[in-house]
Amino acid sequence: MRSGTSPAHSVKDVLSRAAPGLSHVTQQLQRQDFWRSWLAEHLPADIRARISGLTEQRGTLVVFAEGPVWGPRVRYAVLELEAEIRAAAGAAVTRVEVRVLPR
């Protein structure tokens, strides 16, 4: 290392200073991955295949069904798991919603 230069930083450190908003995006992606895995373990395959997306927003886990035909089925299956979802989330999730979002 040349004198007067700073030590090398991790990519995470550089990105967090360059764009603080990326940490929020990274956290959101991690939460989506967590919920995808969790739901994959707890929902039947036919229901799981009809989920077009999910997000966690301000204490609400939003699960998107791929169409209006599947909305009620996904809603019923997910809401049956609501107590388990809340337990898995800790205080991070206080509500669970199912909405329609075509693929």
DSSP collapsed to 3 states, 30-68: HHHHHHHHHHHHHCCHHHHCCEEEEEEECCEEEEEECCC
Q: Give residue 21's pLDDT.
A: 60
Mean pLDDT of 56-64: 93
CB atoms within 10 A of CB 35: 21
More confident position, 28 or 35: 35
Rounded to two decimals, the pTM is: 0.75
Q: Give residue 60's pLDDT.
A: 95
Element (H, E) at 88: helix 82-89
* Distance of alpha carbon 70 from alpha carbon 63, whole angstroms: 12
Mean pLDDT of 21-37: 82
Is the pLDDT score of 76 beyond 60?
A: yes
Q: Give residue 75's pLDDT.
A: 96
* Distance of alpha carbon 60 from alpha carbon 57, whole angstroms: 5
Is the pLDDT score of 77 beyond 90?
A: yes
* Distance of alpha carbon 19 from alpha carbon 86, whole angstroms: 31
Q: Give residue 103's pLDDT.
A: 78
**Percent over 90 (pLDDT), the chain:** 63
Q: Give residue 91's pLDDT.
A: 86
